[in-house]
Amino acid sequence: MTTRADERGSTVVLRPLATPMPLGFLGQAVASWAFACLQLSWLDPSQGHLVAVGVLVFTVPLQALAATLGFLARDAVAATGTGLLAGGWAVVATSTLLTPPGATTGALGVLTLGVAGTLLLPATVAVTRVAAAAVLWLSVARFAVTGVAELLGEQPWVHAAGWVGLLLSATSLYAAAAFELEAVTGHRWLPIGRLSSGSSDPQQEPGVRPNL
């Protein structure tokens, strides 16, 4: 927390917020990995309900919190992206709980395609942070392929969704580590792919910190 006085002698209290992206991306990594294990038959379909409960308890709250912090930090990409992901994983997990193990449903296919469509907005505008954009675009692909798999009910599409899920999980882990290291140390140990620089760039760091 930082305190400073304005020209009239009033005291202004500023509470800079850390970037919420690592929190949201780590939740994304866990959910995508767990459902990929189901889609690739690395886990028995009967364990799908446990995976769904884990995602509802772990990923959805973390991403909802990341979205809230993103709004408070005035980071539209983090807020919108993680908020949509929280809703998307809540839909997938709840559907998995309510359907027989290993079943595919057209309703879930329509919903996941809808999630993929809404994610296009934050993915498109995340142009100044390539690592974040990569996570969001892979999330679009992950939900889109899952939607097709649910609509068609064909194993090749289910497996394809699983492989995209593994790639998304790995990319999310990398992006979370990159943003976390930069936030803690002030140095870019892992490439994030910022396309703009300078302290006056509002995308360089969300929230009020650049104005301190």
Full DSSP string of the chain: -EEEE-TTS-EEEE-----SHHHHHHHHHHHHHHHHHHHTTSS-GGGHHHHHHHHHHTHHHHHHHHHHHHHHTT-HHHHHHHHHHHHHHHHHHHHHHHS-TT---HHHHHHHHHHHHHHHHHHHH-TTBHHHHHHHHHHHHHHHHHHHHHHH--HHHHHHHHHHHHHHHHHHHHHHHHHHHHHHHSS-SS---BS--STT-TTTS-SSGGG-
In a domain, 181, yes or no: yes
Domain that holds residue 101: 19-195
| Torsion from C-alpha of 131, 137, 139, 140, nearest 10 degrees | 170
| Least confident interval from 92-106, 111-125, 156-170, 185-199 | 185-199
Number of domains within the chain = 1
Q: What rounded mean pLDDT belongs to the chain?
A: 86
Least confident range of 23-37, 41-55, 58-72, 182-196:
182-196
Residue 9 has a pLDDT of 54
Asked if pLDDT for residue 11 goes beyond 70, the answer is: no
State yes or no: pLDDT of 83 exceeds 90: yes
**In the chain, % of residues over pLDDT 90:** 67
- Asked if residue 202 has pLDDT above 50, the reply is no
**Cα 91 from Cα 113, distance rounded (Å):** 12
- 13 found inside a domain: no
On whether residue 173 sits in a domain, the answer given is yes
Going by pLDDT thresholds of 50, 70 and 90, the confidence category of residue 182 is confident
CATH of the domain at 172: 1.25.40
100 domain-assigned: yes
Residue 12 lies in a domain: no
Does residue 205 lie in a domain region? Answer: no
Strands 11-14 and 2-5: antiparallel
Q: Residue 113: is its pLDDT beyond 50?
A: yes
